[in-house]
A and B are shown apart, each in its own frame.
Chain A
Amino acid sequence: MLLAACGSDSKSTTPAASGSGSSSAATSGLKIGLAYDIGGRGDKSFNDAAAAGLDAAKSKYNLAAADVKELEAAQGEAEADKEARLTQLADNGYTTIIAVGFAYSNAVKAVVPKYPSIKFAIIDDNAVQSPNLADLTFAEEQGSFLVGAIAALKSTKHHVGFIGGVNVALIQKFQAGFDAGAKAADPQVKIDDKYLTTPPDFGGFNDATKGETAANGIYDGGADVIFAAAGGSGSGVFKAAKAKGAKAIGVDSDQYQSAAADVKSVIISSMIKRVDVAVGSFIDSVKAGTFKAGNTIFDLKSGGVDFSTSGGQIDDIKAKIDTFKKQIIDGTITVPTKP
């Protein structure tokens, strides 16, 4: 009852809200609303990448503080809270709204059709199609394929591991690519896959002790390189690698740059996912009037995903990895998206 009332209420206020939005848009150009996933700005990972894209757009278009609104999800919140967050941004005159993370899928489905004049984008999800919604997804499996090949080539024991934060379809894409890449580089490689938690427990993205325990288990089982696709839990994997004298691969950003000094030496590469590029190009398209609805995939070809070489530990095999990269880009290798 209460929800229905809220819904109709927001519908009736839409024209006024978007009207005021467009009038202020005439002066400053853009009014951007950003709804973060759990962790928000400052997670040193996925959300921070989105924030970096926003910050770049802010300085590029010289936006005032009032033109940008950032809201963030709370741990264990209800679906209705996510809807309310997007509705709040739309009602407050923000005409370019970005939902960061697949968790917003249902909320976007409910809110987007109510505001046809507002341009929305959702990151990491393409389940919802709407004329005013851009679905920005990444070919994580392609980048993961490359770090899978790196892991297999750098493993002296022909044994590598994968640690996913939470067992969801998105992270399974990382696993599928990693497994395929490792096998392509070394057909005899043994792969241990592990997810830290299963939904609805999303704590696996934020629990370094769990990451450390799982990594120790995989290293003790004989692996010597682990790909940690586990957000904030990855720091535990790096600690374990350091203690065991093994190697690890980071995710989302170049974690060699952001990791604590004492574990830098174990991070041989990172699977980079340019969420900042996705956010930036969406804002650019709205600004330039070239907004494109539907699914845009940021892949190896467009530079949306890649692997990092900081630290210089994979210089000896970089040529091989670049060959794989070329083959994926020209279509010789098709990377699976499901393990």
Chain B
Amino acid sequence: MTTSTVTETVTPAPRRFSRTSPSLLLVVALGAFLVLSAVRTLTGGYDLTSSGTVAAGLSAAVPIGLAGLGGLWAERSGVVNIGLEGMMILGTWGCGFLGYNHGAWAGLVFGTLLGAAGGLIHAIATVTFGVDHIISGVAINIIAPGLALYLTKVTFAHYEGGGQKQSPPINDAKAITLPFSHWLHTIEDKHWFAVSDLAGLIGGVATRLSLVTLLAVVVLVVSGWILWRTAFGLRLRSCGEAPYAAESLGVNVYKYKYIAVVVSGAMAGLGGSALAISAHQFRDGQTGGRGFIGLAALIFGNWRPGSLAAGAGLFGYTDAIQLRSSAAVHALLLLMAIALALIALWQWRTGQRAIAVVALVIAVLSVLWFADTKKVPDELVGTTPYVVTILVLALASQRLRMPKADGKVYRRGEGH
């Protein structure tokens, strides 16, 4: 008992992290943008800020971010959900099933529902029956692809344009292009310092922006608002921190966990649907571990919606860069070095000397690598998103603190 109260008084550090003021964020964002423009101008790695990269990065980030958001809902209520990948697969299949003849939005709704059904199974196993969360999650990850494949064989295999491994094509969701975007592309092609870069960033968002992407952003903001700004959210999070304390105050912990895990599955299903829509069909194995990457973004994002979105965004952005242009990956080395140097400086000031030294050493090595070579070997280009995201998030995060009762089995009335 005493030890737990002691740890409780020592944990204000992560709260400082959350108290970043909007004006500080604005300064940081502006600084990051200027560094980005400078590196782009210096290296000629145009794809660092091209509208194509921004658009591709954004759509790559959506499924990962939604999976991470699914993890956020579940883990904030104290249920570890590593079944996100499986629920995502259910989402991709569901989206293919209704999407191919009723349009992308019907597919999206059905995919989300199937994801929620996966979440419900996880909730029944972990909350009602007290199964170990990891075991239940692994089971869902094994069952879901098999089930999706079976359903594909009994449905899509008989449809025109479908196959035993894939659905017929899904029509695109509506995409919006703002009227001035054409104008932005002209500016972008001039390659002026800062101005063209800004045009590229805005142009990427303003051109053919899928409504699904917009929906994902809305869902993220609304989730953050519900979990941190409403009484419902406070109760839900209390189940993840101290379920017996919540119970003693009259919170129905089972109910909140159920809601959280079902919403979690729905988010993963939505992410799967978004993936299927951007790939224009369901394909067996198309999720490719994105559910797990989302989970990693959640953890490195310290179980906060903003940081997890940043992690997913960083992954999507670097993935888009490495797919689009090997030259830009070389430029990215320099950019990463600068980012790590800044992180080193900041960690040094906050007293994390060891982390600061590690970040600085990696930054110096990156600069040397950049200066000594003309391009990154093709074999390593594909690892870019993983390496950059892990380095930046791992070295930038303060102390990671998971919800205190996360992953623990809760039984009503058994708290002592």
Contacts and interface: CB of A to CB of B under 8 A. Distances in A.
Contacts of B320: 213
A41 B153 CA distance: 11
A239 interface: yes
Contacts of B281: 208, 235
B286 A42 contact: no
Contacts of B275: 209
A269 B161 CA distance: 20
A41 B166 CA distance: 11
Contacts of B157: 42
Given A44-B166, A217-B323, A232 B283 contact: yes
A203 B60 CA distance: 15
Interface residues of B, number: 36
A221 B325 contact: yes
A187 to B, nearest CB: 23
Interface stretch (A20-28, A108-116, A191-199, A329-337): A191-199
B366 interface: no
Interface in B62-108: none
B234 to A, nearest CB: 38
Interface residues of A, number: 36
B165 A236 contact: no
A232 B164 CA distance: 13
B278 A209 contact: yes
Nearest to B380: A198
Given A209-B279, A217-B324, A42 B165 contact: yes
Contacts of A255: none
Nearest to A260: B169
Given A40-B165, A213-B320, A220-B50, A206 B286 contact: yes
Contacts of A195: 378, 382
A41 B169 contact: no
B12 interface: no
Contacts of A209: 59-60, 275, 278-279
B224 interface: no
Nearest to B379: A198
A238 to B, nearest CB: 10
B166 A42 contact: yes
B382 A198 contact: yes
Interface string B41-52: 000000100101
Contacts of A197: 382
Interface string B174-214: 00000000000000000000000000000000001000000
Contact of A208 (B208, B279, B326, B383): B279
A63 B80 CA distance: 52
A231 to B, nearest CB: 11
B56 interface: yes
Nearest to B153: A42
A260 B284 CA distance: 18
Looking at A38, A201, A207, A209, which has the most chain B CB atoms within 10 Å of its CB?
A209
A206 B285 contact: yes
Nearest to A201: B382
A65 to B, nearest CB: 17
B288 A207 contact: yes
B378 A167 contact: yes
A43 B279 CA distance: 15
A243 to B, nearest CB: 8
Contact of A213 (B208, B286, B324): B324
B257 interface: no
Greatest chain A CB density within 10 A among B52, B284, B326, B382 is at B382
Contacts of A198: 378-379, 381-383
Interface in A85-129: none
Interface string A15-58: 00000000000000000000000111111100000000000000
Interface in B308-326: 319-320, 323-326
Interface string B235-259: 0000000000000000000000000
Contact of B164 (A41, A75, A236): A41
A189 B134 CA distance: 54
A167 B379 contact: yes
A94 B357 CA distance: 62
Nearest to A203: B288
B324 A214 contact: yes
A232 B163 CA distance: 12
Contacts of A262: 169
Nearest to B324: A217
A210 interface: yes
A216 interface: yes
Nearest to A239: B280
A217 B326 CA distance: 10
A217 B47 contact: yes
Nearest to A214: B323
A232 B52 CA distance: 22
Contacts of B161: 260
A42 B164 contact: yes
B258 to A, nearest CB: 32
A75 B289 CA distance: 12
Contacts of A220: 47, 50, 52, 324
Contacts of B166: 42, 44, 232
8 contacts: A75-B285, A196-B382, A217-B56, A217-B325, A220-B52, A235-B281, A260-B161, A260-B280
Closest 9 CB pairs of A and B: A217-B324, A42-B164, A208-B279, A213-B56, A213-B323, A42-B163, A214-B323, A260-B169, A42-B165
Interface of A: 38-44, 75, 167, 194-198, 201, 203, 206-210, 212-214, 216-218, 220-221, 232, 235-236, 239, 243, 260, 262
Given A40-B165, A198-B382, A206-B283, 12 more contacts: A39-B284, A42-B163, A44-B165, A167-B379, A195-B378, A198-B381, A203-B288, A207-B279, A213-B324, A218-B324, A235-B281, A236-B279
